[in-house]
Amino acid sequence: MKSFFSLLFLLLVTISGIRAQEKALSIPHTVHTLDNGLTVILHEDHTVPMVTVNVWYHVGSSYEKPKRTGFAHLFEHIMFEGSGNVKEGDFDNLLEAVGGNNNGSTTQDRTNYYETLPANALDLALFLESDRMGYLLEAMSPGKVDGQRDVVKNERRQSYENRPYGMAFQTILENFYPKDHPYNWPVIGYMDDLTAASYEDVVEFFKKYYAPNNAVLVIAGDIEPAKALEKVKYWFNEIPQGEAVIRPTAPVFGLLDEKKLTIEDNVQLPRLYLAYQSPARYAPGDAEMDVAADVLANGKNSRLYKRLVYELQIAQNVSVYQDGSALGGMFMVVATARPGIKLAQLQAVIDEEIGKLTTTAPTEREVQRVIHQNESNILRQMESPMAKAEMLQSYYRFAGNPDWLNEDFSRYKALQPSDISASVRQYLNPKKRVVLSVVPKGKTDLAIQ
């Protein structure tokens, strides 16, 4: 497998300790741009006779208007309902008939669509993807929008209303970002907005964002790149370019104080959420905060797990993550209290441990642990064409270069422990955060006051 050679080499070199000879991590690929602006990225992997076709449209919930939230995600659903030359239901029927699978997902910044199918059926996936890119509206109807509106409302019920602690994240977003910030609402949107979405809104949204010049197509798997490119041209060349898309911008804002909120829920145990502003994806400080999150809560020896769960046994669990997106990041600490424990007790320990990190750098070993785990993760992803396609997409969208894997990993390897504490000092200010307590109904005394 020549595509993995460089990686193998890296690991061999790492154990023998000759870091100077390291070769770059890379996902070998070619990039092409069609006349209509469609970016095409191709990657060969002949492990099994399967192929992944992966399209990113650079539109997510941050491109929506207030009162029309949830649109990008509603659209993700509508894109499977048939297009000019594909009957309703046939997107799945046709793919399944050749042994394929498909799905999609939406974030604040982008929407993705993908098919995994036997390599001999590549044309089918390209036909389906190009047909909905070029001819979706020919088959669209108010009835189809209504149908998916109901499905999405049930997706929301399943993930929010009917799930313990399900309303927490939405509450945090609303209070963390200012009203005019495009990350102020949940990706899935509000029930009222989903009800209000009209057929005309759908048409307008499609025309604006689902053109080839706002899309990137990645094919990874058992392909010959030259032949695959010819196929892509055959199916996509005829789709006209759309108007240039203006990416959303965010107002500059800063959390100026500590915002304390409480919600009551049908739960046994209270849970604490602390949300801090942090760097955008791949921006300076993002890698530092990522490492800080792992130092705080990944594994039994992480600082918060060790104290809250292992030693003091006042929490049932704790998790911390850095979530860098295009327009900014959120650093989140979540801890569930043991019965009888007030959330203030958890917060005191969390603040103490974060405080220690601001004054004293983590140990070399703590930082190295994160790097080793990243390395293993990269290996795992390298085994899956689907995961590699997503990496190529993500690096292209957020770093401007599909093969940014080596640079991404190098960000971590270059870190000094003192960089971590410097970033923690900068971003984890206890006076500038959203503090949310979710407590059992009637037990507001357990909340942070």
Partner 1 sequence: MKAILAFFLGLLLTVHSLVAQKADRTKPPVSEAPRSLMVPKVEQFILKNGVKVYYLQKTGVPHVSITIRSNGGTANDPEDKIGLATATATLMRDGAGNRNALQLSDEIDYLGIMLQSYASADEMSVGLFTPVSRLDAALDLMRDVVLKPRFEAAEWERRQRESLVALAQAHDEARIIASTAFNQLIYGKAHPFARRATESTLKNISIADIQGFYRQTITAANSSFLVVGDVAKETIKAKLDARFGLWKGGTAKKVTISDPAKTIGRTLYLVDKPGAAQTELRFGSAGVRRSTPDYFAITIMNTILGGSFSSRLNQNIRETHGYAYGANSGFSFPRSVGHFIASSAVQTDVTDKAVNEFMKELTNIRNVSDDEMNRARNYEALGYPENFGTVNALAANISEKITHNLPDNYFNTYVPNILGLTKTQIERAAQQYVDPANMVIVMVGDLSKIRDGIEALSLGPIKVLTKEEVLGAIPVLK
d(CA 106, CA 75): 9
Q: Which is nearer to partner 1, 127 or 321 (CB)?
A: 127
Q: Which is nearer to partner 1, 254 or 339 (CB)?
A: 339
Q: What is the DSSP string of 380-444?
A: HHHT-HHHHHHHHHHHHHHHS-TT-HHHHHHHHHT--HHHHHHHHHHH--TTSEEEEEEEETT-G
**Least CB distance to partner 1 at residue 339 (A):** 4
Q: What is the DSSP letter of 86?
A: B
Which of 41, 436, 52 is CA-nearest to residue 261? 436
**Least CB distance to partner 1 at residue 381 (A):** 9
Q: Which is nearer to partner 1, 118 or 178 (CB)?
A: 118
Q: Which two tokens stand for residue 313?
A: 């046994």
**Residue 336 and residue 194 in contact, taking contact as beta carbons nearer than 8 Å:** no
| Beta strands 328-337 and 315-325, pairing class | antiparallel
Length of the chain equals 449
Q: Among all chains, which residue has been given the structure tokens 């949940």?
A: 186
Q: Which is nearer to partner 1, 70 or 285 (CB)?
A: 70
**Residue 433 and residue 254 in contact, taking contact as beta carbons nearer than 8 Å:** no
Q: What is the DSSP string of 348-398?
A: HHHHHHHHHHHHSPPPHHHHHHHHHHHHHHHHHHHT-HHHHHHHHHHHHHH
**Least CB distance to partner 1 at residue 120 (A):** 4
Distance of CA 181 to the CA centre of its chain: 18
d(CA 90, CA 93): 5
Q: Which is nearer to partner 1, 150 or 352 (CB)?
A: 150
**Least CB distance to partner 1 at residue 184 (A):** 23
Q: Which is nearer to partner 1, 30 or 85 (CB)?
A: 85
User: Which residues are CB-neighbours of 236 under 8 A, at least 6 positions away?
Assistant: 34, 36, 38, 126, 130, 133, 134, 212, 217
**Least CB distance to partner 1 at residue 116 (A):** 7
> Which amino acid is residue 302, in one-letter code?
S
Q: Which is nearer to partner 1, 155 or 407 (CB)?
A: 155
| Beta strands 39-44 and 215-221, pairing class | parallel
Residue ranges with strand state E in 141-236: 215-221
**Least CB distance to partner 1 at residue 271 (A):** 11
User: Which residues are CB-neighbours of 98 under 8 A, at least 6 positions away?
Assistant: 117, 118, 120, 121, 124
**Least CB distance to partner 1 at residue 153 (A):** 8
Q: Which is nearer to partner 1, 141 or 429 (CB)?
A: 141
**Least CB distance to partner 1 at residue 102 (A):** 8
Q: Which is nearer to partner 1, 46 or 432 (CB)?
A: 46
**Least CB distance to partner 1 at residue 269 (A):** 6
Which of 390, 254, 399, 432 is CA-nearest to residue 326? 399
**Least CB distance to partner 1 at residue 326 (A):** 27
Q: Which two tokens stand for residue 216?
A: 């990137």
Radius of gyration of the chain (CA): 23
Q: Which is nearer to partner 1, 313 or 449 (CB)?
A: 313
